Amino acid sequence: MTEAKQETIINAINAHFNHAVIKHEMLYDMFTVTLRKDAVIPAIQWLYDNEELKFRFLTTMCALHYPDQKDELGMMYQLHSLENNLRIRIKTFFPKDLAVMPTLTGLYSAANWMERQEYDFFGVDFKGHPNLKRILNVDDMVIHPMRKEFPLEDQTRKDKNDTMFGR
């Protein structure tokens, strides 16, 4: 994405959504914008509606967990404008006890299962989602396993009896 275009997007988002851009940078070949949480969905809507940019394809989304940050959890959305061949990554962070995001299902049908997946693994609650339940894990699981507080089992553990199956 050219510098001019980046500038346009940043200025437009700042103008429309009350200075919502916290940070913007080029990460390798991807233009990455960190936004305030309340502005994320309106900004994506704006990028979708914009006649010039036309970010109408949701490539992927995923949740992030940085346990050392104040705003621990985050969401990453990656949009693609197929007509202009532009990609943009939008990130936002929020504290763990406020892990609520508005849904994107109204805009992209593809967001349905993607959001269910992130709810399943990170416990991000998507408000307005039509069918927010676990998708890949079993229904009666009580944790959100991709969070960093659930490390994979330590392979040097000694407190398990392995006579039958080994390790």
Binding flag, residue 136, another protein (CB under 8 A) = yes
- Reduced 3-state DSSP string for the chain: CCHHHHHHHHHHHHHHCCCCEEEEEEECCEEEEEECHHHHHHHHHHHHHCCCCCCCEEEEEEEEECCCCCCCEEEEEEEEECCCCEEEEEEEEECHHHCEEECCCCCCCCHHHHHHHHHHHHCCEEECCCCCCCCCCCCCCCCCCCCCCCCCCCCCCCCCCCCCCCC
CB of 28 to another protein, least distance (A): 5
Amino acid, res. 31: F
Cβ distance to another protein smaller for residue 68 or 161: 68
Binding flag, residue 56, another protein (CB under 8 A) = yes
Residue 44: which of 99, 102, 98 has the closest Cα? 102
CB of 57 to another protein, least distance (A): 6
Binding flag, residue 32, another protein (CB under 8 A) = yes
Cβ distance to another protein smaller for residue 103 or 112: 112
Q: Which of 36, 113, 123, 125 binds another protein (CB under 8 A)?
A: 113
Cβ distance to another protein smaller for residue 32 or 50: 32
Cβ distance to another protein smaller for residue 11 or 71: 71
Interface residues with another protein (CB under 8 A) are 27-28, 30, 32, 56-60, 62, 64-65, 76, 78, 82, 85, 87, 89, 108-110, 112-114, 117, 121, 134-138, 145-146, 151-152
